[in-house]
């Protein structure tokens, strides 16, 4: 039996399978299909200081082997999360990672203080949402701004801080090095890739916001490449994500350098996807005769 436990930036995960922010709500819905304790960790829907309604619909478009979304960080706000959602999530034996987005460094800091005090296991700093006007992606595309947000998040947190990177940059390693230098305990990538679809009959973009973020199997090779580049540039552990829908995809991201892997869009097609990916990954570990699944991490043998 391959031991699936991994230590991720000091947080003990019972397996390396995580569900990424924005694909899993606060766990209530998919908790109808399987016990949330089956997962390594849950990254909750992106939180902001105040409640946000998000963008107008349509917010989703199908693409070849993928989807575009433009939800725009709809969430009840950090205080409502702490009051109503966190206690419910805490009933399960699963690590909780709070994903946060702010308009200013101070907003990130304030949320980190509240969430640390509320007892989440880790904070994921989103500097890469492509669907909001202020903050979000702006922090994720400039190394010095990414570092500034990371620094204040670290200073305001008593739990490990992970920074989620955008793939919408020329050189992702610059940003990765900047956030590592500013004290990030871990890095997650990739957020969605900006894209657009147009209805040929009407000439209108399918998304009301015109553009959105691409996810799903179509982005897997981009994720593998970027995880590999970042793994070669930094020492902190990586939560790899982007298009994982089967165990072999998760293994690929781990070989590229990820210590843990998130399964997101795949849940929309198969409600059991995260659990299935975990089992398939476990089978791969056994077939390779691995004592611990962590042995996959960074195991790629580049030409």
**How far is residue 77's CA from residue 95's CA, in Å, rounded to a whole number?**
20
79, 148, 270, 280: residue in contact with another protein (rule CB under 8 A): 270
5, 33, 211, 290: residue in contact with another protein (rule CB under 8 A): 33
2, 21, 69, 157: residue in contact with another protein (rule CB under 8 A): 69
Q: What spatial distance separates the first Cα and last Cα of the chain, rounded to whole Å?
A: 31
Contact 131, 55 (CB under 8 A): yes
Contact 14, 277 (CB under 8 A): no
From 106-114, 167-175, 269-277, 281-289, give the range in contact with another protein by CB under 8 A: 269-277
3, 5, 14, 58: residue in contact with another protein (rule CB under 8 A): 58
Is residue 216 within the footprint of another protein (CB under 8 A)? yes
> Which residues have C-beta within 8 Å of that of residue 124, sequence separation ≥ 6?
21, 43, 97, 98, 99, 100, 162, 163, 164, 188
Q: Which two tokens stand for residue 126?
A: 């989103």
**How far is residue 255's CA from residue 253's CA, in Å, rounded to a whole number?**
5
Nearer to another protein, 55 or 128 (CB): 55
129 classed as catalytic = yes
Contact 134, 170 (CB under 8 A): no
From 47, 115, 120, 129, active-site residue: 129
Q: How far is the CB of 46 from another protein (least distance, A)?
A: 10
Q: Compose the 35-54 pattern: x for residues touching another protein by CB under 8 A, - for all others.
A: ----------x-------xx
Helix (H, G, I), strand (E, B) or coil at 18: strand
Interface residues with another protein (CB under 8 A) are 22-25, 28-30, 32-33, 45, 53-62, 64-67, 69, 71, 74, 206, 216-217, 265, 267-272
Give catalytic residues, as residue numbers. Answer: 129
């Amino acid at each position: 039996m391959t031991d699936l436990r991994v230590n991720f930036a000091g947080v003990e995960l019972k397996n390396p399978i995580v569900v990424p922010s924005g694909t899993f709500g606060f766990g209530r819905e998919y908790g109808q299909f399987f016990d949330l304790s089956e997962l390594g960790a849950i990254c909750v829907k992106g939180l902001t200081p105040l409640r946000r309604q998000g963008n107008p619909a349509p917010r989703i478009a199908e693409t070849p082997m993928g989807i575009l979304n433009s939800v725009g960080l709809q969430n009840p706000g950090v205080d409502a999360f702490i009051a109503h959602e966190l206690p419910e999530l805490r009933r399960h034996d699963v690590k909780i990672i709070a994903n946060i987005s702010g308009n200013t460094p101070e907003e990130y800091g304030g949320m980190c203080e509240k969430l640390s005090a509320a007892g989440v296991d880790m904070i994921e700093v989103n500097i890469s949402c492509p669907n909001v006007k202020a903050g979000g992606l702006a922090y994720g595309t400039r190394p010095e701004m990414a570092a500034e947000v990371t620094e204040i998040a670290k200073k305001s947190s008593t739990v490990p801080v992970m920074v989620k990177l955008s793939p919408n940059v020329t050189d992702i390693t610059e940003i990765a090095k900047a956030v590592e230098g500013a004290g990030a305990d871990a890095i997650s990538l990739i957020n969605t890739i900006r894209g657009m679809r147009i209805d040929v009959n009407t000439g209108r973009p399918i998304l009301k916001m015109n553009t959105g973020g691409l996810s799903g199997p179509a982005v897997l090779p981009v994720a593998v490449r970027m995880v590999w580049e970042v793994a070669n540039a930094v020492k902190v552990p990586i939560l790899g994500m982007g298009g994982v829908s089967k165990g072999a995809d998760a293994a690929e991201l781990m070989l590229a350098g990820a210590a843990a892997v998130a399964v997101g869009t795949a849940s929309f097609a198969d409600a059991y996807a995260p659990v299935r990916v975990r089992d398939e990954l476990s089978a791969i570990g056994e077939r390779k005769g691995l004592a611990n699944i962590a042995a996959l991490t960074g195991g790629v043998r580049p030409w």
